[in-house]
Structure 1
Amino acid sequence: MAAPTPVIHTPHTPVRRVGVLSLVLAAVVAVIVLAFAWPSVTAAPHDLPVAVAGPDQAVDAVTDAVAEKQPDVLEFTRVDDRDAAVVAIEKREVYGAIVLGDAPEVLIASAANASVAQLLTGIAGALEGQVNAQAAAGAAAAGAPAPAHIAVTVTDVVPLASTDPRGTGLTAAMFPLVMGGMLGGIVISLAIIGAMRRVLAVVVYSAVGGLVLTGILDGWFGVLQGDFWVQWAAIALALAAIAAPITGVVALIGRAGIAVGPIVMLLFANPISGAAMPREFLPGAWGQIGQWFPPGAAANLLRDVAYFPDADASFSWLVLAGWTVGALLLSVIGHFRTAGGAEPDELATHEDDPVAAAV
């Protein structure tokens, strides 16, 4: 008679662990929702830089009227004339301009941001009513006949590409760029042993990935304008600035450093990057803080090289280069710290040993 098959009882997970894990997962979900929903829910325009030109009396009247109806929304900068206003827009010093005089005009730049362009277009309608009311009042006071209607022209100085008329393509491209850099750093950290080999992998991945993404966004979708190779350099550097910190921290502390990607780049830096909305829409100083991180610098730089070649993009270039170089230096430090340049496990520690290499 065959012996009965023993029954193996798998131990159950302790109830306390189940409760703790559930609470942790709930907290993680809450953080993710807050990170991505908070900027949109709290978004409100404030201190948007806009140029204004024209006679002093007319400028004072218009700026006072705008400030009364929409306080703290616009921050006016006086310029000499229309040409100076156009230059300021093309250099991305202002989002648009109000030009007053015999032929009042509102200048917008939909390539800078479609929401701000729409806001300024609405102001043009209010300005037209105000200008005509003042002209009618002046004529009545002088006993003159009612003047002809004065139209306020809206001119798009830097329009979006015809292939991306709403700017959604350029905005949507930023999240895959952040994800691509982050996933590249994570995969390289997991698949490649040796900090210096990871440095090489980041450089090659960024260069090739930048070429592929530029080909898609520029050559295929047409959402980017301007010089192809400048765009490639910007995208490649952005990928490196996001991927390299992950591999650099992994070289120092081991695979726990992979969390740099999801926590720093995705949950913290991406929501305040200003990619989906102008940084002036974010509360407090968060919009400015976001420009010091790779997602924000990449979003700003890509818009500059695509539509605003005259803008001073040196800050964004330096931010991306600083993150890349600093992270690669972490990899070098980690290389000398662990001999093999990887997380402190047996394989990585002895990877560069002569005996191991000979085997």
Structure 2
Amino acid sequence: MSHPDAMKAHTPLLRVTAIALALVALVGVIVLAFSWPTVTADPKDLPVALAGPAEAVEAASEAIDEKADGAIALETVDDRAAAVEAIEQRDVYGAVILGPEPEVLIASGGSTVVAQMLTGVAASLQEGLNAQMQAAAAAAGAPAPATVEVVVTDLVPLAESDPRGTGIATSIFPLVLGGMIGGIAISFLVIGALRRVFAVVVYGVAGGLVLSAVLGGWFGSLQGGYWADAAAIGLALTAIAAPITGFVALIGRAGIAFGPLVMLLFANPLSSANAPKEFLVAPWGEVGQWFPPGAAATLLRDLSYFPEADASFPWLVLGAWTVGGLLLSIIGHFRTAGGAEPDAEAAVAV
């Protein structure tokens, strides 16, 4: 007699080849999604304030524009106080102050990469000023002037508990995974669309409380205060999880794909968690801020280092994704409950 296993048909070679090639394509998409922002990173139009005498501002603008090659977009302000205010409100990344005591203002808490770039601008500015003064003195037959030093002042330094400024950036990817895992697990384990709504809310609140303690109190990656950070993290988790359970309630288990496709492969690489949004090819840096990963990264940085900044936009983005996802769950509930099939049966079906 033939063994039962021998009676089973093998997978056709054509199908095997198609599966293998599809998996290769999937890996290629994943690699492209996560590598593209880094490979194509090129700063363009980083807003930087410029203050000082009119003639000096004009000369410095031409010199910086030529050397920066489009990386910096100078915005003239009235004085140093206006420049400081613009930095604290996150309207600019730094400032160049001209006059008798030239100075470059940086904000490491906003971006270590831009802070290093502006430190290089300070060195070039100092070299240029001294060269001009020496040339003018030589032409006039005067003694060599004293060397001018361009002071670099860090208005928003990094916290001692996060001296490299990597804490917020490295926390975004786990938050995205956490939101996805929560949404997918709740979709599988909880029966009933409205019960999933309740589960997502509880998950977000509890997750925010726990992760704020870990990332802020334990690791020292966040500086915004326990309750503020907990609210931001909890809302971020909910904003990622709720759309997943919402689409599952609306279209079935196929809705689970929303998390990996939209949140992980699309929104996370565009979050600008590691570098400013101006480093991404336009308009993708701005687009990324309309999704939970980008909004969460901006919000946590604002809470940690820029309390004077207007953080209403990231709060609204996270809130909109949360409300939208929960509404999809409610719509899915009324689509199934009391209709063609009971809600419990529909939940099992999806």
The Cα shift of 1:170 comes to 1.6
TM-score, structure 2 normalization = 0.96
Matching residue within 314, 326, 348 for 2:345: 348
The Cα shift of 1:96 comes to 0.3
Quote the residue 1:206 is aligned against: 204
One-letter amino acid of the counterpart of residue 266, structure 2? F
Quote the residue 1:357 is aligned against: none
After superposing on structure 2, the runs of 4+ consecutive aligned residues of structure 1 that deviate more than 4 Å are: 4-7, 344-347
Quote the residue 1:282 is aligned against: 280
The Cα shift of 1:277 comes to 1.2
Contact in 1 for aligned 2:208/2:231 (Cα 8 Å): yes
Residues 350 and 83 (structure 1 numbering): CA distance in 2 closer, same or farther, change over 3 Å?
closer
One-letter amino acid of the counterpart of residue 140, structure 2? A
Number of aligned positions between the proteins: 346
The Cα shift of 1:144 comes to 2.1
Quote the residue 2:157 is aligned against: 159
One-letter amino acid of the counterpart of residue 333, structure 2? H
TM-score, structure 1 normalization = 0.93
Quote the residue 2:19 is aligned against: 21
Contact in 1 for aligned 2:193/2:343 (Cα 8 Å): no
Q: Distance in 1 between matches of 2:23 and 2:161?
A: 42
Residue 269 of structure 2 aligns to a residue whose secondary structure is coil
The Cα shift of 1:63 comes to 1.4
Once the two structures are overlaid, the 10-residue window that deviates more, 177-186 or 7-16, is: 7-16
Q: Deviations over 1:122-169 (max 9, x none)?
A: 111000001111111222233321110011110100011011111112
Q: Deviations over 1:197-253 (max 9, x none)?
A: 000011000000011110011100111113221111111110110000000000000
Quote the residue 1:315 is aligned against: 313
Identity %: 63
Mark the runs of 5 or more structure 1 residues left unpaired by the alignment: 352-359
Q: Distance in 2 between matches of 1:200 and 1:94?
A: 41
Q: Distance in 2 between matches of 1:79 and 1:122?
A: 21
Q: Distance in 1 between matches of 2:347 and 2:238?
A: 28
Within-5 A mapping of 1:1-359 = 6-9=3-6, 10-339=8-337, 347-349=344-346
Quote the residue 1:356 is aligned against: none
Contact in 2 for aligned 1:195/1:340 (Cα 8 Å): no
Q: Deviations over 1:70-98 (max 9, x none)?
A: 22110111111111111111100000000
The Cα shift of 1:8 comes to 3.8
The Cα shift of 1:68 comes to 1.1
Contact in 2 for aligned 1:241/1:324 (Cα 8 Å): yes
Residue 193 of structure 1 aligns to a residue whose secondary structure is coil
Contact in 1 for aligned 2:277/2:286 (Cα 8 Å): yes
Q: Distance in 2 between matches of 1:64 and 1:207?
A: 51
Contact in 2 for aligned 1:246/1:261 (Cα 8 Å): yes
Mark the runs of 5 or more structure 2 residues left unpaired by the alignment: none
Q: Distance in 1 between matches of 2:102 and 2:86?
A: 18
Please report the RMSD computed on the Cα atoms of aligned residues, expressed in angstroms: 1.6
Q: Distance in 2 between matches of 1:162 and 1:305?
A: 16
